[in-house]
Amino acid sequence: MPRRISLPTHGALELALGLALLIAPLALGLDGPGLVAGVAAGALVTGLALAGVESLSASAHMGADQMTTLALLLGGAALGLGGQVAAGVLLAAAAAAMAALTFATRFSRR
Hey, what's the torsion of the CAs at 2, 6, 88, 41, to 10 degrees? Answer: 170
pLDDT value of residue 1? 46
pLDDT value of residue 2? 63
Residue pLDDT, tens place only, 2-53? 678 888 889 999 999 999 999 999 999 999 999 999 999 999 999 999 987 6
Say how many C-beta atoms besides its own lie within 10 A of residue 87's C-beta. 28
pLDDT value of residue 54? 75
pLDDT value of residue 89? 97
Residue pLDDT, tens place only, 95-105? 999 999 999 98
String of DSSP letters for 6-38: PHHHHHHHHHHHHHHHHHHHHHTT--HHHHHHH
- Cβ distance 108 to 58 under 8 Å? yes
Q: Average pLDDT of 78-94?
A: 96
pLDDT value of residue 110? 58
pTM of this structure: 0.89
